[in-house]
Chains A and B, each alone.
Chain A
Amino acid sequence: MSNLAVVAVLLVLVAVAYQIGLARSRGVALASGVRMHSLPRYHGLLVVLNAALPAIAVYLLWSLFGGSVIEAMVLASLPPEQIPADELQQRVVLQRIQNLASGFGMLGEAQAYEQAAAAYLQSLTTTGQAVTAALMATVAALGLFWSWRGTTPQTRARNKVERAIEIGLIACSAIAIFTTVGIVLSMLGETIRFFQFINPADFFFGTVWNPRFETVGTSGQEGFGLLPLLSGTLLIMIIAMAVAVPLGLMIAIYLAEYAPYHVRNVAKPAIEVLAGIPTVVYGVFALVTVGPFLAGMGELLGVNIRATSALTAGVVMGMMIIPFISSLSDDIITQVPKAMRDGSLALGGTKAETIVKVVLPAALPGIVGAILLGVSKAIGETMIGHGRRQLSGADGQPVRIGFHHHGVHHQPVDRRPGFRQPAVAGGLRPRTDAVRDDAGAQCHRAGGGAQVPRTIRVINDEPTH
């Protein structure tokens, strides 16, 4: 009894139930000659609800608990000396029996008791499915019969159907609560486990983030300090704000107060395009364009700026949040009443003075809100820093909380075209990344010479501190 077949049967049931409800309500209306309380289609829907819902509930119950009930029964049927005490071992035994029953075969000879258990498992599954099917058919038939009997001119079918729909609506909106609960639970469990291994004080006040070299449970636990991540995030955020706040605010002021209608009509959407661009694209932009550009600028000025510095990430992130600040501030500045501007202008203030001394103070709460929204966006962002894989926090290389590439990272890459990664650099062990290669599909090279691995990923094995 596959899921698809069940869905098909249920759909047929729904259609049949609806037609039965329609026909029945029309029949009742004709027979009694009285006006029905509800339209025929509500009677049809009510029959559908009465017949299909219990059947679906039975099926869900079977899908949720059927498997484990059968497993428990099979386990109980085994000879007592063959039941391992350990739960993992029980799993293995059950897996063997299931493989045997499904005909996949198994390692080693099947024991007689395993054969018996497999046969028992098969019979149980068949019986269970048959019982479920029979039960579904029974409750559906009962529901049909009950609502067929209950269709009278006085039946408040519409109210019942609408009530059911409303419950469905409530359930849909409650998903938000479940999501929050899920987030909290999924974090809580892992966090508690983490803090069983790592002293919270070390985590919150540690100054080294270098967890690759610490095996959980061993003595060396100083590699889990949060501070480098925090400081990296803060640094990038401050740079981003330094870029985005003046730019965004001036754009908002210009577009709201100075710009002619057609300039505003073009410039505003053009800048808002920045808000819709996927963050991974910004990451690429940082890595490919902004990083080398800033490094070049630094060279001109005689300052050593790494292409993968916090400056790059901060500038690009600032670019990303410009539209948040400019658009929201723009809306707020336009909402400041015109009378306030007129008053200031009438007293002889210039336009700039009016804006700085009258309009901006009035719009300040909203502007601060817009800036905070930008900050929250910047803090939660993950992908922009992804090009920077330096994981240590102490040598001025900021690391970010959002996301860490799984310990594999590039050497600082020379971006001159044609630069070839040296195979072995001091203390670095090269390793070809063959783990996830597309073996099988299309890579067996027939007749060609062995290919020198040109793609080399480097795993830094030496602690940076």
Chain B
Amino acid sequence: MNQHTELSGHAAIRRQVEASLRRRQVREKLFHWSGIAAVVIALTLVGIFFGTILKTGLPAFWQSTFVMDVHFDPEVVQIGPKPEPMPGESPAAYQQRFNQWQLDLGFVDFGQIIHKSIVKQLPEAAEHPDETLALVTSGELFALRDRVVADPGIIGQTVRLKLLADANVDVWLKGNIDRDLPDTQQQLSPLVRAWADQLQASGVIQNKFSTAIFMNPDSRSSLASAGLAGAFMGSLFMMIIVILLAMPIGVAAAIYLEEFAPKNRLTDLIEVNINNLAAVPSIVFGLLGAVVFIMWFNLPMSSSLVGGLVLTLMTLPTVIIATRAALKAVPPSIREAALGVGASKMQAITHHVLPLARPGILTAMIIGVAQALGETGPLLLIGMSAFVASIPATPFDQSTALPVQIYLWESNELRNFFEGRGSAAIIVLLGMMLALNAVAIWLRKRFETRW
């Protein structure tokens, strides 16, 4: 009897323990699986992120392009070669002749040439010059003009050319617009849409890889030929300025703080400042740049010089902190050995510590440049979000930057076209950043030393 209750008591406890064990193991499984789920969700997000950008951006590198014979009709292009100064001619007289020539050039109706070329492919377009020109992006008129200026011998000849189609035609042909929308909501007239389809079917309009996005500056009148070249040059100038300034200053500051600085109040102040600056939101550096460089120093607004200076200040804390880590990684035995054989402290550092820390310093620099390359906020505040239609030739010219260009394109109203164009620009930007990071990783792997 007694034994029986004892047994049943044991069994009860056993059941209880087993039940709780099952519960606990289920919980363990749940926990494990929620961890896997979190990783999978994050990786999916990464995948969706790159997937959507590639999906919208890659097709934008291919644009609807007219491939057709263009006849430079001497009747239409009545313009001589660019006048050269004649011997004995006064500069004023030459200037007058040159101005007259420029004026004549401006009156040449290149639209008519394009119209006639299209009519050859599409006879029913003969009566509708305006609609025909809606097919081709307006920048091509100037491309034709530049062609004539570069080679006057082309007049009277027929050349097979590639002309970019208008952005709206590109949108229509790629199906980036709902084809069933009523006419009032379409960007193009029914006639132009029908012609575009017809020309595509007859192979005059082809989807060709376009270099416009790499070679041209931004444009608002000829959207199909808007490109990244201006923004790229702006970014390039800024990166050069960042490298030229942030590298020596950052390394010098890191050397001082890591190797020389005595423990005193000044050093503490500097260290606190650097750590704080690393956490300051980047937009604040834009305010600083607007006030200090533009208002006080009168540097040109919207120039890549000011942009480069602002980005230098922004990246300096990053560079200093990373360089200090690189210096710290060099074991003290190296310094002690150098000091032991009679080197001065400066010699120990310049001859031994710096060469050993070089890969780390380079990595720090690349990280800083990559950070500066992707930064947009501060540039907006120093006027670099302006629309710039020319490629800047010097750091003093007005310019914009790659991320700002993305921002400008993505806020363009012709969304159907610029979503793709903007994503293409993102691909270019991400490609550059990936390349920079790959170099940083390669440097780290190549020169990594385990002490």
Residues of chain A touching chain B, judged by Cβ–Cβ distance below 8 Å, are: 158-159, 162, 165-166, 168-170, 172-177, 179-180, 182-183, 185-187, 189-190, 246-247, 250-251, 253-255, 257-259, 263, 267, 270-271, 273-274, 276-281, 283-285, 287-289, 319, 322, 326, 350-353, 355-356, 376, 379-383, 386-387, 402-403, 405, 410, 413, 415-421, 436-438, 441-449, 451, 454-457
Contact = CB atoms under 8 A, between A and B. Distances in A.
Contacts of A279: 374, 376-377
A182 B178 contact: no
B100 interface: no
A interface secondary structure, majority: helix
Contacts of B185: 418-420
A94 B86 CA distance: 41
A438 B221 contact: yes
Given A271-B42, A402-B377, A169 B32 contact: no
A380 B56 CA distance: 29
B25 A280 contact: no
A319 B45 contact: yes
B376 A280 contact: yes
A280 B37 CA distance: 28
Interface residues of B, number: 116
B346 interface: yes
Contacts of B43: 267, 270-271
Given A158-B344, A271-B42, A176 B412 contact: no
A421 B413 CA distance: 9
Contact of A165 (B53, B257, B346): B346
29 contacts: A168-B252, A169-B253, A169-B255, A172-B250, A173-B256, A173-B261, A176-B270, A176-B274, A179-B277, A180-B277, A186-B288, A254-B35, A267-B43, A276-B370, A279-B374, A280-B407, A284-B426, A285-B52, A288-B56, A352-B30, A380-B281, A380-B283, A382-B282, A386-B411, A417-B177, A443-B221, A454-B168, A455-B413, A457-B413
B223 to A, nearest CB: 9
B151 interface: no
Interface in B396-412: 403-404, 406-407, 410-412
Given A162-B344, A267-B43, A182 B292 contact: yes
Interface in B131-179: 133, 138-139, 141-142, 168, 176-178
Contacts of A270: 43, 46
B430 A277 contact: yes
Contact of A285 (B38, B49, B139, B187): B49
Cβ-closest 5 pairs across A and B:
A380-B281, A254-B35, A278-B374, A438-B389, A186-B291
A255 to B, nearest CB: 7
Contacts of A355: 31
B221 A436 contact: no
B348 to A, nearest CB: 11
Interface stretch (B104-112, B196-204, B330-338, B356-364): B104-112
B437 interface: yes
A182 B423 CA distance: 36
B281 A166 contact: no
B117 interface: no
Contacts of A287: 410
B46 A443 contact: no
Interface stretch (B118-126, B206-214, B414-422): B414-422
Nearest to B115: A447
A418 B187 CA distance: 8
B410 A437 contact: no
A187 B422 contact: no
A267 B37 CA distance: 13
Given A166-B256, A454-B168, A420 B187 contact: yes
Given A277-B430, A280-B407, A326-B42, A350 B28 contact: yes
Given A173-B257, A254-B32, A352-B27, 6 more contacts: A176-B274, A250-B39, A255-B39, A271-B43, A446-B107, A447-B141
Contacts of A448: 111, 130, 133, 138, 141
A441 B389 contact: yes
A100 to B, nearest CB: 22
Contact of B252 (A162, A169, A438, A447): A169
Contacts of B451: none
Contacts of B181: 418
Contacts of A447: 109-112, 141
Nearest to B267: A173
B341 interface: no
A179 B316 contact: yes
Nearest to B287: A186
A382 to B, nearest CB: 4
A420 B111 contact: no
Contact of B138 (A162, A278, A322, A443): A443
Nearest to A274: B46
A166 B39 CA distance: 49
